[in-house]
Amino acid sequence: MSAQTTTKPAAKPSAQAVDSPLPRTLTGSEAVCEALVAEGVTTIFGYPGGAIMPIYDALYGYGDRLEHILVRHEQGGIHAAQGYARTSGRTGVVFATSGPGATNLVTGLADAMIDSTPVVCITGQVFAHLLGTDAFQETDVINITTPVTKWNYQVTDATELPSVLAKAFYIAGSGRPGPVLIDITKNAQLQSFEYAGYTPCRHIRSYRPKPVVRMPYVEEAAALINAAERPFVIFGQGVILGRAEAEFKAFLDKSGIPAAWTILGLSALPTDHPLNVGMLGMHGNYGPNLLTNECDVLIAVGMRFDDRVTGRLDKYAKQAKVVHLDIDPAEIDKNVKATVPVWGDCKETLPLLTTLVQPRRHDAWVKRFHDCMVQETDAVIREELNPTGDVLTMGEVIRELNECSGGDAVIVTDVGQHQMVACRYARFNDSKSNVTSGGLGTMGFALPAAIGAKYGAPGRQVVAIIGDGGFQMTLQELGTIMQFGVDVKILILNNNFLGMVRQWQQLFHDRRYSSVDIESPDFVALARAYRIEGACVSERKDLSEAVRRMMSHQGPYLLEVMVGKENNVFPMVPQGCGVAEIRLR
């Protein structure tokens, strides 16, 4: 994607010695690059600085194998790595320097932690003898990042690097994935040592990524499902992370059970699958929320009963027996008590379950969902997608996008109203196509994540849908898009408000619009300053053509659409209410 890699000089002598017999002498920094190459890493998102300079020096000699994407802020680096991981299914890699470089990663680490995204961050650190002395750009990165990493470790001796990095990649990518941070002191980066080669990690005695599947529980689950009259499947990102989309579909097709998704489970099942009944949660579809409290067996697959999905817990699916499939034992019974816990990788447990369930159809029950969808269409969807009023709606923009993409695009969303609308209405044919900040709700996520998403899926169209607020949080990454010519389409849905907060203020704070009126620069002119083409539309007659022009444009493009200022996202389960108290308006 970049012309930069091809113009790099040949590797330095030490790095050229790749084919020489082992052991050979390498620096810690070279060992880091060797580890990345051995792990199959091709793309690194990062930003250099004093304490990581030896690694960047070594990287200079690996330009033919490791492409480094220079972001404009470390937060952008880690969000890009997250986007990369989400579309590629591989572990994203980030470099940052000590002190502020490392602290700028914290938001992304928290985001990756709560959304189970595999990322390995390598941070430089001051010399080991300076640790604890308040040295220049010294921060206690290990302790700052402990709550937001699956694992972290400080390396002060280069000989540890090969095995520690092997552990890092194993931990980040296995089991329930998550972010790992390795902090490497400068002396360890510079230190030469006898390098005995790189051995990938396959086992850590204190870590069991894949639990033993307990057959009795699978059998109990199957018995419950077979006896059910109104079974309902709710699924999350576990299906995608477990690469179990086919197994999941086979389970649905045989059992005939309607299925609804969490925001992170979106795209695991094609939009047009007959048993896909829509979205769960606060701004999810009417039927999935309402009928959660009418089903008799609730089958949760790779999801964690987030409070935005369940609403008030003591009014959530109280009538139902709950079967919970999850790879993480800490999720079982955490929020919703499972009648039958099926602890395991759903790639393994789903086929076992499919074998045991009877082929069924639940036509009358599925029709309940369709009836609800008719109600929702009458109350909300028709007007949102094909508005009769003058102002543009977010929904009609997404509809235009669907018509243009045919459901084949990767959709990256930021956080807020546009995110809910995009997730509700965007169509998906393939898995790993929806990239969003679900658990943490990180505004500013989408633009950098879209950069990474494109590197993770270079053959696919990537569209970042962002609000006017979130865009202004990380818009400096336009520089990265410019420099590397990253072909992402940026669709700003501008309502001149921090819309979701405004919606809450309208509904629950008596229209006291406190600090939500946000002014924006001329986004198209801003894009032009970064040599990115763009357009702005505010009238319906121009919308379709503008979307088509954006999608067919070669290279990055920014389209700003001025939408209704005070439109709300409905349906809505108000905070503190049960899912059955969902409001259509």
Partner 1 sequence: MKQEYTITVYTENQVGLLNRIAIMFSRRKINIESLNTSPSEIEGIHRFTIVVNETEDVVRKVVRQIEKQIDVLKAYFNTNDEIVWQELALYKVPTEEIAEKAKVERLLREHGARAVVIRRDFTIFETSGHREETDKLIEVLGPFGLIEFVRSARVAIIKHSSGFHEKLKEFEEAAPRGTTPEASPAGSREGVFSM
- The footprint of partner 1 (CB under 8 A) covers 142-143, 146-147, 150-154, 171, 202-208, 210-212, 214, 217, 328-330, 332-334, 341, 343
Q: How far is the CB of 210 from partner 1 (least distance, A)?
A: 8
Residue 130 or 142 having the CB closest to partner 1: 142
Are residues 308 and 265 in contact, defined by beta-carbon separation less than 8 angstroms? Answer: no
Are residues 63 and 15 in contact, defined by beta-carbon separation less than 8 angstroms? Answer: no
305 among known catalytic residues: no
Task: Give burial (CB, 10 Å; 0-12/13-18/19+) of 82.
Answer: buried
Structure tokens at 373: 């969808």
Residue 160 or 376 having the CB closest to partner 1: 160
Residue 204 or 246 having the CB closest to partner 1: 204
d(CA 153, CA 161): 10
Rg (C-alpha) for the chain, rounded Å, is 24
Q: How far is the CB of 203 from partner 1 (least distance, A)?
A: 5
Q: How far is the CB of 52 from partner 1 (least distance, A)?
A: 21
136 among known catalytic residues: yes
Q: Which of 500, 550, 551, 572 is catalytic?
A: 500
- H helices of 100-178, in order, are 100-103, 106-114, 141-145, 161-173
Q: How far is the CB of 216 from partner 1 (least distance, A)?
A: 9
Are residues 409 and 401 in contact, defined by beta-carbon separation less than 8 angstroms? Answer: yes
Residue 149 or 276 having the CB closest to partner 1: 149
560 among known catalytic residues: no
1 among known catalytic residues: no
d(CA 490, CA 448): 11
Give the helix/strand (H/E) hosting 187: helix 186-190
End-to-end CA distance of the chain: 46
d(CA 90, CA 119): 9
d(CA 433, CA 585): 30
Residue 347 or 432 having the CB closest to partner 1: 347
The angle at the Cα of 406, spanning 442 to 392, to the nearest 5 degrees, equals: 60
Report CA-CA distances (Å) from 577 to 50, 183, 310, 335, 400.
Answer: 51, 44, 9, 16, 34
From the centroid of its chain, how far is CA 173? 14
Q: Which of 74, 160, 331, 348 is catalytic?
A: 74
Residue 150 or 368 having the CB closest to partner 1: 150
Are residues 291 and 372 in contact, defined by beta-carbon separation less than 8 angstroms? Answer: yes
Q: How far is the CB of 224 from partner 1 (least distance, A)?
A: 15
Residue 212 or 364 having the CB closest to partner 1: 212
The b/e string for 430-466 (b: 16+ C-beta within 10 A; e otherwise) is: bbbbbbbbbbbbbbbbbbbbbbbbbbbbeebbbbbbb
Q: How far is the CB of 234 from partner 1 (least distance, A)?
A: 21
137 among known catalytic residues: yes
d(CA 428, CA 447): 20
Q: How far is the CB of 346 from partner 1 (least distance, A)?
A: 16
Q: Which of 186, 321, 347, 454 is catalytic?
A: 186
Q: Which amino acid is at 438?
A: G
Q: Which of 12, 53, 127, 137 is catalytic?
A: 137
Are residues 442 and 474 in contact, defined by beta-carbon separation less than 8 angstroms? Answer: no
Residue 221 or 464 having the CB closest to partner 1: 221
Q: How far is the CB of 415 from partner 1 (least distance, A)?
A: 23
Question: Which positions are catalytic?
Answer: 74, 136-137, 186, 500
